Amino acid sequence: MLFSLNPEQIAIRDMARDFADARIAPRALEWDEKKHFPVDVLREAAALGMSGIYTREDHGGSGLGRLDAALIFEALATGCPCVSAYLSIHNMVAWMIDVYGDGAQREKWLPMLMRMDRLASYCLTEPGSGSDAAALSTRARRDGDHYVLDGQKQFISGAGNPDDFYVVMARTGEAGPKGVSCLVVEGGTPGLSFGANERKMGWNAQPTRAVIFEGARVPVANRLGAEGDGFRIAMSGLDGGRLNIGACSLGGGQSALDKALAYMKERKAFGKRLDEFQALQFRLADMATELECARTFLWRAAASLDAKAPDATRLCAMAKRVATDTGFKVANDALQLLGGYGYLADYGIEKIVRDLRVHQILEGTNEIMRVIVARGLVGR
């Protein structure tokens, strides 16, 4: 097993890092403060192939693997974890269309998603069913060649533009996971509306809203897969989503560590630069080691998903838990190293801490990651 990147992967990572340095990092604090969703910059990323990283090439995707995607999302997150995380969600939706859509669906939807003419959101979570996703209650009732959709989705990233694109898990049959189907709801559908933009601790550079369906008529032709396939589709998307959000956490943690290192080279106390104190050097060494350990494990999980290994879901759950916990801890430790300055918005670390905190909750909470791993261990 090789633990080094090949020249193509290095070039992919460096391209994403250069984009983050030039187009994301300089405005990340402004976007956070003003709660601005930088759609123009996202479309610039799309022009570089970052809107369909692991979507097939016949409709404009980049055709790369999950390890390549992890490199890209980590690099983008050094500029802003929030922006990188939204791009991950868009990629997950595009991948679902690519894998589970039929020929007509792929031809209709993928080109505009690759250009980000429409931005995509993933609608699984509901007000009454967060971690227990199989208990969702949004209902899709068959009426001729349409479904009539009623219900509400909660905490939907990127939602709110009436012209955008929503992949929705809805109940078409019995209780439990076998009664869930996957529907594409296009922006402008009558009966589709949105809640207010949520006030959040972090992730201010992307909107988060409830998505509400009141008698929304969705063509049966917009269903991905067969009736009852929706929960399986949702869970398969989450394996990759967990890797992506873990990579975003590592990028944020790395950025916080880099900011702390730069500060400590300049700041003096008791007649010495901060980076000359051995106790602080040990802290930095631990932070760098923890990031590298989490990164290496995330790459292993990504390789397993690329290989469709039987233990991929378990490894993705492990990697998500480790990477998101590690990224947040490193960012929080970096804030501490700056002392009072770390608490100020101008230095950028407090934003990273706020952004990374939610990564331990979304794409399945880290408690649920432990459930997935434990079930594999005890054979349930």
Q: Which fold has domain 231-378?
A: Butyryl-CoA Dehydrogenase, subunit A; domain 3 (1.20.140)
Which DSSP category does 19 fall into? H
Q: How many residues does the chain have?
A: 380
Q: How far is CA 56 from CA 42, 97, 117, in A?
A: 20, 11, 18
Render the burial of 155-172: b for 16+ CB within 10 Å, e for the rest: bbbbbbbeebbbbbbbbb
Query: What CA–CA distance (Å, rounded) separates 117 from 133?
Result: 30
Domain with CATH 2.40.110.10 in the chain: 120-228
Pick the CATH number of 120-228 from 2.60.120.560, 1.20.810.10, 1.20.1290.10, 2.40.110.10: 2.40.110.10
Q: Helix (H, G, I), strand (E, B), or coil: what is residue 59? A: helix
Comma-separated ranges of CATH 1.10.540.10 domains in the chain: 7-115
pTM of the prediction? 0.95
pLDDT in tens, the chain (380 residues): 567 899 999 999 999 999 999 999 999 999 999 999 999 999 999 999 999 999 999 999 999 999 999 999 999 999 999 999 999 999 999 999 999 999 999 999 999 999 999 999 999 999 988 778 888 999 999 999 999 999 999 999 999 987 789 999 999 998 888 999 999 999 999 999 999 999 999 999 999 999 999 999 999 999 999 999 999 999 999 999 999 999 999 999 999 999 999 999 999 999 999 999 999 999 999 999 999 999 999 999 999 999 999 999 999 999 999 999 999 999 999 999 999 999 999 999 999 999 999 999 999 999 999 999 999 888 76
CATH class for the region spanning 7-115: mainly alpha
Known catalytic residues are 363
